[in-house]
């Protein structure tokens, strides 16, 4: 993966809605200096969600957006109290938010590689068990190495 470690690992995040959760995670990208414009990135993540749910099963969602608001590829891992990601989907407990800079036509984007590698991890039952039981960020971090 072009990005090996999350910018932030948030454990036991509490939220009453997907919007509030995404706002919190976008703020973390902003505070880490990964965005030019927090509001624009959040808006583009929400537009992407409106097109097609980023719920991928097994309690995992991988919201993402390719945006001119992103300085460099990055991702955040969050474990939260279960939240309904979409009306028809099962509750989500793990969120991996990807921030991908928009690239010019003809340039290679890290988007597909990041999505593929994160999804492969997220769908591994043993890794999800570690995520569910981890008491510290270091334990989570080891699953991304």
At 145 the pLDDT is 81
Q: 83-86 long-range CB contacts below 8 Å, 24 or more apart? A: 83/15, 83/16, 83/17, 83/18, 83/21, 84/18, 85/18, 85/53, 85/54, 85/55, 85/61, 86/53, 86/55
At 2 the pLDDT is 52
At 1 the pLDDT is 43
Tokens for 29?
Answer: 């990208």
At 111 the pLDDT is 67
At 16 the pLDDT is 84
Ranges of residues in the chain whose predicted pLDDT is under 50: 1
pLDDT for 34-73, tens place per residue?
999 999 999 999 999 999 889 988 999 999 999 999 999 9
Q: What CATH class has 8-142?
A: alpha beta
31/93 Cα distance (integer angstroms): 23
């Amino acid at each position: 993966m072009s990005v090996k470690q999350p910018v932030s690992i948030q454990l036991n995040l509490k939220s009453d809605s997907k919007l509030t959760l995404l706002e919190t995670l976008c703020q973390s990208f902003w505070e880490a200096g990964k965005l030019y414009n927090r509001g624009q990135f959040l808006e583009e993540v929400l537009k992407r969600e409106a097109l097609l749910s980023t719920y991928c099963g097994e309690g995992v969602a991988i919201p993402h957006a390719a945006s001119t608001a992103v300085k460099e590829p990055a991702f955040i891992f969050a474990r939260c109290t279960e939240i309904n990601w979409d009306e028809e989907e099962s509750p989500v407990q793990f969120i991996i938010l990807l921030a991908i800079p928009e690239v010019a036509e003809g340039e290679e984007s890290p988007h597909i590689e990041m999505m593929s590698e994160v999804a492969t991890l997220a769908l591994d039952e043993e890794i999800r068990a570690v995520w569910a039981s981890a008491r510290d960020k270091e334990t989570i971090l080891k699953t991304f190495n």
